[in-house]
A and B are shown apart, each in its own frame.
Chain A
Amino acid sequence: MTTSTRGAKAPAVLVLEDGRTFHGRAYGAVGVTFGEAVFSTGMTGYQETLTDPSYHRQVVVMTAPHVGNTGVNDEDPESQRIWVAGYVVRDPARVPSNWRSRRSLDEELRKQGVVGISGIDTRALTRHLRERGAMRVGIFSGNALPDAGTMLAEVRQAPEMSGADLSAEVATKETYVVPAIGPDGEAVPVGSAKFTVAAVDLGIKGMTPHRMAERGIEVHVLPATATAEDVYAVNPDGVFFSNGPGDPSTADGPVSVMKAVLERKTPLFGICFGNQILGRALGFGTYKLKYGHRGINQPVQDRTTGKVEVTAHNHGFAVDAPLDKVSDTPFGRAEVSHVCLNDNVVEGLQLLDQPAFSVQYHPEAAAGPHDAAYLFDRFVELMEGQRA
């Protein structure tokens, strides 16, 4: 009933692996796509969401009905391309409006071959995912669609997210350097910054090295396959592990690199996937959340100060660590430093006997509130402390 008849858009069908089906219109590229269906509740920041490598292989359902209103600009992407496997919106903008807009989102999706669907009851779909959990999905668009049974069968043949090792697919292949930014706003010549950080790219967002660079850090972004030798080759003051897609239980390579870093007591900071890697390095398990946290309004409490910050989240897995006690780990005592107040999911870990901490959410924001930006300052403090 909600199918939009406007424009010359081809019909499209969204099929969930449990058989629930939604009929709408094609959005972006016409074709077929598969992935894990997840919903994101952010009302702003679709460009950042689309280009966040952590969404690799996921079909993102936007709960905000109007998407594309501000078009697409060249400043806001978080990586070089759109990573989502498919895009689901209710009411895409026909005309973008913003002084920074260069082209429409529809155009951009088509240019990058991203298959989407519009005009469906995204709230019904979201409620379904909330109740049944994230699951595989397919979007089929075009004028000659397969029959329902075929589509469902194809969805059920698509790979699952559990057990997926995806970091290497999205990370940089070559090391690159993000220079520090001086007080004058200009780049600091490479080699002369206050601090050097080796950042292991497991699907890093552009804003993350930028937030470090703003604080006088020169960031060497290394491929996901980087070894401990690669990390120490840049002579880092601190090591950073980024966010990224996939199941943390498959990330044995990064876990072993992190253990090496912890052995050497180099200041360490992890975000998102990086938090899960720290969890594993400390001996905690990880598990898949029913439908994950994806949005920019999540209340996280910093248990060290009691303060609540409103934060950006994008995670389908979480660390299984005890909330109310200090744990003994191979690297000394560890505790849960941050917790999500909505559901008590572990949102941060810190070591009490050496300079290492991580958070499950996104202090670099983009998209989202800047409440947690202080964590980058904490990282700087750790590096300063180590130096002193």
Chain B
Amino acid sequence: MPKRTDIQSVLVIGSGPIVIGQAAEFDYSGTQACRILRAEGLRVILVNSNPATIMTDPEIADATYVEPITPEFVEKIIAKERPDALLPTLGGQTALNTAISMHEQGVLEKYGVELIGANVEAINKGEDRDLFKGVVEAVKAKIGYGESARSVICHSMDDVIAGVDTLGGYPVVVRPSFTMGGAGSGFAHDEEELRRIAGQGLTLSPTTEVLLEESILGWKEYELELMRDKNDNVVVVCSIENFDPMGVHTGDSITVAPAMTLTDREYQRLRDIGIAIIREVGVDTGGCNIQFAVNPDDGRIIVIEMNPRVSRSSALASKATGFPIAKIAAKLAVGYTLDEIPNDITEKTPASFEPTLDYVVVKAPRFAFEKFPSADSTLTTTMKSVGEAMAIGRNFTEALQKALRSLEKKGSQFAFTGEPGDKAELLRESVRPTDGRINTVMQAIRAGATPEEVFDATKIDPWFVDQLFLIKEIADELAAADKLEPALLAEAKRHGFSDAQIAEIRGLREDVVREVRHALGVRPVYKTVDTCAAEFAAKTPYFYSSYDEESEVAPREKPAVIILGSGPNRIGQGIEFDYSCVHASFALSDAGYETVMVNCNPETVSTDYDTSDRLYFEPLTLEDVLEIVHAETLAGPVAGVVVQLGGQTPLGLSQALKDNGVPVVGTPPEAIHAAEDRGAFGQVLAEAGLPAPKHGTATTFAGAKAIADEIGYPVLVRPSYVLGGRGMEIVYDETRLESYIAESTEISPTRPVLVDRFLDDAIEIDVDALYDGTELYLGGVMEHIEEAGIHSGDSACALPPITLGGYDIKRLRASTEAIAKGVGVRGLINIQFAMAGDILYVLEANPRASRTVPFTSKATAVPLAKAAARISLGATVAELRAEGLLPKNGDGGTLPLDAPISVKEAVMPWSRFRDIHGRGVDTVLGPEMRSTGEVMGIDSVFGTAYAKSQAGAYGPLPTKGRAFISVANRDKRSMIFPARELVAHGFELLATSGTAEVLKRNGINATVVRKQSEGEGPGGEKTIVQLIHDGQVDLIVNTPYGTGGRLDGYEIRTAAVARSVPCLTTVQALAAAVQGIDALNHGDVGVRSLQEHAEHLTAARD
């Protein structure tokens, strides 16, 4: 029964901005699905507010709407496009919730749109805890096993407190309904914790519902990925076992595929339950994942939950097995059955089978606690990781050690030198799951802990514990050996030891170990991920390394370009870089090269085996990359390695690759140094006659103090060679400067601290440009909404710039060209400028693709990353203009006057983090980047575009109601006009006494409310924080006073996050918001596809 013929067009909803719990995996899934649906001849209409995605590239869908994913905007799109069907299962919880909400509002019925891929009843059965419990009971009645944890559903705090007794006491698990990534869930060990967690959970749940559950902490945790077609054929694509037992969110756990510690009887029992559940829930075409807990003492199975949609786990499972779940889900949704769909990898066998693995896959989470120093780092059932790395090996130890080094984080690899510490203390620490607990466990083992002690402390399965012992024993042998015998070296490599680890153990340099290893002929081979354990020949070159015997890399004729990806997502280096790498792959493939992708991030489009000609799923360390280059050099000609598109990770390898004789194409390592090294870059600026803020570099406090004294406080300090403003801070006095230097771990004689004059009240400007050695193509100029001093990644920005004139653009163009030329760029460069007074300062230059490349590309309808990749391999701007890859005339600096305005807004992860007392973390923006993702609002005027960006990021701006204003003294002047506007739009203003006084003197009435520190008034007058919690406030403007750990206004801002009230923390954002509110109050806001925008732009350009 082939494809349905009654569907001609389908609306796909994406997942919106990258947030914790919902990340790049939905770009991967959505891109696959859109491509498949188009290939099936359907008109694909896409909505996704996230510009940094491949799926929102104009060639992926027929009509791409970069608009907020809210029922309101999606309805506008439906009204305009009138799709036959809506596919809601590929955009995470966001898409599912939006679809359900539109169904409930009758929108789908009104426009005759059929929900495909999942029906409402199935979604509700899978997502609603109570209904799902019924599902599990029905399954047990049918097949005799499977049960839910004992639980009670609660809709109020009274229900919650009473519920604990029903379950037999603490600890209990709290799970809010209908939230994503387990947001708001956690373990409560006593009433205080319970009130806090459940209170927040009731708020977060759109149905004000939480589930209270018996504790199954320490049980084994498993996940199955299933698919079902309309003929009721069901397959289990993958089993996943969590290294960390129950209690840690699966997104935060180290996970392993396939399951390692189940007998066939137990595995088949999980499989039977899983199949019975997908049938009972009624997912008739598509995928779902189901999580299980298994009691290690007796095998009792508890079904934890299911997601009736594509998920992070399904992306992982797809990469782990080679079975593309999203792609197949899309085909099933339009009517195919599993047996009608061929297995891409073998081409000869059908998709109606279950992949079998002859390797082990390990996924390790990447955290960002260093960005939120006050946040509690204990891992719980609320997901906190911001990214993940996956590694494949021929055994667990090899995969695990590869995964840990893929994390690219100091201390993520096992260390075997130095004193491990006190065994008892280490074991005590191991009890609490944290980022890096596995390293603590390894130290405990080094300190003499027994397997039983480790198990008692952690409940990590004894088989996994033994694998850690195995690794430790090899480290011991390496340390004890007289010399590095080939057999021992091979054995160490076979268990995943890196050259760097061996070097550390042996007291050698890494390159010496590598030389010895090569001399002994100990090199990895590359095996294929083929879905079938070699039973059938694989047609898809999807490789991983292993120290085994036989390599499967085939010879090739065409010259290859090796593109280095960006590794695990982290704050500051996310999906934007993957976007650029994927574009390079497409462009270079079109230009006749064989493209070879190297990356270790399972969430991404770059690690889809369909993206490049060859895929190496490998860590991005020097060792791993050198081995791949070696293997590919043996296979055929290598034109070069692209390092400038994957962010700081590959850029950091540039010099070492060159030193090892690898041809690095594009901007040469010397040029990268010229941009990143303060002294060299100062030289470039001096030669070009460009001003930079006064600055200096130091490696000691004394040095830093001397510089600061000379240029005057406040100063901006940061370590060199970092991304995302890591460790960057505005320092207002000497005391803080001293503690900053003392606390920083990044500063060393080879890595000095940079001290810059801080430009107060400057406008920050970002420029993305291409340079081919002679000609500059100005990609785009972005004007930040927030002032300089707030990390560019966290600041909203507008393109084209809204307050800069032709003269400014001219200056920016000249400066950019001078820097690109002076540094020696071949490809992309991103420069940050600050305009203070009338002086244009150069803040920094990055000779690589920047975070804003996808945004700029979409806003100007020009594929900058593709052009950069071509320039890297020798094409010129003129050639690319002639070819049509770049516009024939003009560039991003000469956009027509009626070009649309695009606004990028950052999305912050505040609601994910709590301090150890359970309070929220502060939400003030600063020079250190903390946003996880971004959205784009695009429209003909700034106000509407800004309003759209807010709606996409945080929920719509209020158009009426109560606005609370409390600003720092320095902001009081700038607040008056926007405040007046708010009143004009009918807002009632609330203010603390000081701000109210200023407003009153300017003729603006504001109701004085009590500060939190003043407490409740004698007549029961509530404080502002209480009012926010009571839902009495619709908009909050709160700019921080002064500096220091605990800022005033902290409670206000955390209350705003808890209640999801829009909270503006700069006056610039207030001004922009007022323009947005103004736009919303003036007539209807329309929707327009990127293709329409592009057509308009192209027409205007010619």
Does A314 count as interface, using CB distance less than 8 angstroms? Answer: no
Closest chain-A Cβ to B469's Cβ sits at a distance in Å of 8
Chain A residue at minimum C-beta to C-beta distance from B1: A306
A65-B394, A66-B395 known; A99 vs B350 contact (CB < 8 Å): no
Q: Which of A47, A64, A100 has the most CB of B within 10 A?
A: A64
Closest chain-B Cβ to A11's Cβ sits at a distance in Å of 11
Task: Give chain B residues whose Cβ lies under 8 Å from the Cβ of A306.
Answer: 231
The 8 Å CB contact of B356, one of A48, A130, A297, is A297
Does A41 count as interface, using CB distance less than 8 angstroms? Answer: yes
Range of interface residues on A (Cβ < 8 Å) = 35 or more
Does A91 count as interface, using CB distance less than 8 angstroms? Answer: yes
Listed stretches A162-170, A248-256, A361-369; interface member: A361-369
Does A123 count as interface, using CB distance less than 8 angstroms? Answer: yes
Does B265 count as interface, using CB distance less than 8 angstroms? Answer: yes
Listed stretches A2-10, A27-35, A132-140, A315-323; interface member: A2-10
Q: Which of A48, A63, A76, A120 has the most CB of B within 10 A?
A: A63
The 8 Å CB contact of A99, one of B298, B474, B548, is B298
Task: Give chain B residues whose Cβ lies under 8 Å from the Cβ of A120.
Answer: 549
Q: Mark B868-881, 1 if CB is under 8 A from A, else 0.
A: 00000000000000
Q: Mark B467-488, 1 if CB is under 8 A from A, else 0.
A: 0001001100000000000011
Does A342 count as interface, using CB distance less than 8 angstroms? Answer: yes
Q: Do A2 and B548 have beta carbons less than 8 Å apart?
A: yes
Q: Which of A11-65 contact B (CB under 8 A)?
A: 22, 39, 41-45, 47-48, 63-65
Does B573 count as interface, using CB distance less than 8 angstroms? Answer: no
Does B100 count as interface, using CB distance less than 8 angstroms? Answer: no
Task: Give chain A residues whose Cβ lies under 8 Å from the Cβ of B12.
Answer: none
Q: Which of A287-311 contact B (CB under 8 A)?
A: 295-299, 301, 306-308, 310
Residues of B within 8 A of A (CB-CB), count: 65
Listed stretches B102-110, B458-466, B789-797; interface member: B458-466
Chain A residue at minimum C-beta to C-beta distance from B491: A5
Does B268 count as interface, using CB distance less than 8 angstroms? Answer: yes
Chain A residue at minimum C-beta to C-beta distance from B522: A1
Closest chain-B Cβ to A284's Cβ sits at a distance in Å of 25
Q: Which of A79-124 contact B (CB under 8 A)?
A: 90-91, 93-100, 120-124
Q: Do B356 and A70 have beta carbons less than 8 Å apart?
A: no
Q: Which of A172-186 contact B (CB under 8 A)?
A: none
Task: Give chain B residues whose Cβ lies under 8 Å from the Cβ of A310.
Answer: 235-236, 352-354
Q: Do B264 and A63 have beta carbons less than 8 Å apart?
A: no
A331 to B297, CA, bound (A): 54
Task: Give chain A residues whose Cβ lies under 8 Å from the Cβ of B532.
Answer: 41, 297
A1-B549, A124-B549 known; A41 vs B535 contact (CB < 8 Å): yes
Q: Do A370 and B268 have beta carbons less than 8 Å apart?
A: yes
Does A286 count as interface, using CB distance less than 8 angstroms? Answer: no
Chain B residue at minimum C-beta to C-beta distance from A119: B494
Closest chain-A Cβ to B600's Cβ sits at a distance in Å of 20
A43-B258, A99-B298 known; A123 vs B235 contact (CB < 8 Å): no
Does B1100 count as interface, using CB distance less than 8 angstroms? Answer: no
Q: Do B264 and A367 have beta carbons less than 8 Å apart?
A: yes
Closest chain-A Cβ to B526's Cβ sits at a distance in Å of 11
The 8 Å CB contact of B263, one of A5, A64, A70, is A70
Task: Give chain A residues whose Cβ lies under 8 Å from the Cβ of B358.
Answer: 41, 63-65, 122-123, 126
Chain A residue at minimum C-beta to C-beta distance from B353: A299
Q: Do B264 and A3 have beta carbons less than 8 Å apart?
A: no
Does B613 count as interface, using CB distance less than 8 angstroms? Answer: no
Does B543 count as interface, using CB distance less than 8 angstroms? Answer: no
Q: Do A126 and B350 have beta carbons less than 8 Å apart?
A: no
Does A225 count as interface, using CB distance less than 8 angstroms? Answer: no
A295 to B259, CA, bound (A): 17
Does A73 count as interface, using CB distance less than 8 angstroms? Answer: yes
Q: Do A45 and B491 have beta carbons less than 8 Å apart?
A: no
Q: Which of B354, B537, B547 has the most CB of A within 10 A?
A: B354
Does A378 count as interface, using CB distance less than 8 angstroms? Answer: no
The 8 Å CB contact of A342, one of B260, B353, B360, B487, is B353
Does A127 count as interface, using CB distance less than 8 angstroms? Answer: yes
A295 to B357, CA, bound (A): 12
Task: Give chain A residues whose Cβ lies under 8 Å from the Cβ of B1068.
Answer: none
Closest chain-A Cβ to B107's Cβ sits at a distance in Å of 36
Does A69 count as interface, using CB distance less than 8 angstroms? Answer: yes
Does A145 count as interface, using CB distance less than 8 angstroms? Answer: no
Does B611 count as interface, using CB distance less than 8 angstroms? Answer: no
Q: Which of B236, B263, B299, B339 has the most CB of A within 10 A?
A: B263
A74 to B700, CA, bound (A): 67
Q: Do B548 and A121 have beta carbons less than 8 Å apart?
A: yes
Q: Do B535 and A295 have beta carbons less than 8 Å apart?
A: yes
The 8 Å CB contact of A64, one of B233, B533, B548, is B533
Q: Do B271 and A307 have beta carbons less than 8 Å apart?
A: no
Closest chain-A Cβ to B143's Cβ sits at a distance in Å of 9
Task: Give chain B residues whose Cβ lies under 8 Å from the Cβ of A366.
Answer: 264
A299 to B231, CA, bound (A): 14
Q: Do B548 and A100 have beta carbons less than 8 Å apart?
A: no
Does B550 count as interface, using CB distance less than 8 angstroms? Answer: yes
Closest chain-A Cβ to B4's Cβ sits at a distance in Å of 17
Closest chain-B Cβ to A71's Cβ sits at a distance in Å of 9
The 8 Å CB contact of B487, one of A3, A70, A95, A341, is A3
Closest chain-A Cβ to B700's Cβ sits at a distance in Å of 48
A299 to B236, CA, bound (A): 12
A307-B232, A308-B339 known; A121 vs B549 contact (CB < 8 Å): yes
A126 to B1034, CA, bound (A): 66
Closest chain-A Cβ to B694's Cβ sits at a distance in Å of 58
A388 to B150, CA, bound (A): 47
Does B262 count as interface, using CB distance less than 8 angstroms? Answer: yes
Q: Which of B355, B461, B536, B549 has the most CB of A within 10 A?
A: B549
The 8 Å CB contact of B264, one of A41, A91, A121, A368, is A368
Task: Give chain B residues whose Cβ lies under 8 Å from the Cβ of A5.
Answer: 487-488, 491
A64 to B522, CA, bound (A): 24
A22 to B549, CA, bound (A): 9
Task: Give chain B residues whose Cβ lies under 8 Å from the Cβ of A370.
Answer: 268, 271-272
A73-B263, A94-B470 known; A2 vs B494 contact (CB < 8 Å): yes
Q: Do B353 and A297 have beta carbons less than 8 Å apart?
A: yes
Closest chain-B Cβ to A337's Cβ sits at a distance in Å of 16
Q: Do A297 and B338 have beta carbons less than 8 Å apart?
A: no
A111 to B635, CA, bound (A): 47
Does B587 count as interface, using CB distance less than 8 angstroms? Answer: no
A65-B395, A95-B451 known; A308 vs B352 contact (CB < 8 Å): yes
Chain A residue at minimum C-beta to C-beta distance from B523: A1
A126 to B536, CA, bound (A): 10
Q: Do A66 and B360 have beta carbons less than 8 Å apart?
A: yes
Task: Give chain B residues whose Cβ lies under 8 Å from the Cβ of A2.
Answer: 490, 494, 547-549
The 8 Å CB contact of B534, one of A69, A95, A97, A126, is A126
The 8 Å CB contact of B262, one of A6, A44, A130, is A44
A200 to B352, CA, bound (A): 33
Task: Give chain A residues whose Cβ lies under 8 Å from the Cβ of B494.
Answer: 2, 4
The 8 Å CB contact of A41, one of B265, B272, B356, B488, is B356
The 8 Å CB contact of A308, one of B338, B356, B360, B533, is B338
Closest chain-B Cβ to A143's Cβ sits at a distance in Å of 16
Does B267 count as interface, using CB distance less than 8 angstroms? Answer: yes
A127 to B533, CA, bound (A): 9
Q: Do B490 and A130 have beta carbons less than 8 Å apart?
A: no
A343 to B268, CA, bound (A): 25
Q: Do A69 and B536 have beta carbons less than 8 Å apart?
A: no
Contacts A/B (CB < 8 Å), 8 sampled:
A6-B470, A6-B473, A42-B356, A63-B358, A90-B395, A91-B395, A310-B236, A342-B353
Known: A1-B547, A126-B358, A341-B353. 20 other contacts (CB 8 A): A4-B491, A39-B535, A41-B532, A41-B535, A43-B357, A44-B267, A48-B264, A63-B535, A69-B260, A69-B463, A90-B394, A123-B527, A126-B535, A127-B534, A130-B537, A297-B353, A308-B337, A365-B268, A367-B264, A367-B268
| 10 closest cross-chain pairs (CB), A and B | A45-B264, A124-B550, A121-B549, A367-B264, A63-B533, A97-B463, A44-B264, A95-B466, A297-B354, A63-B358
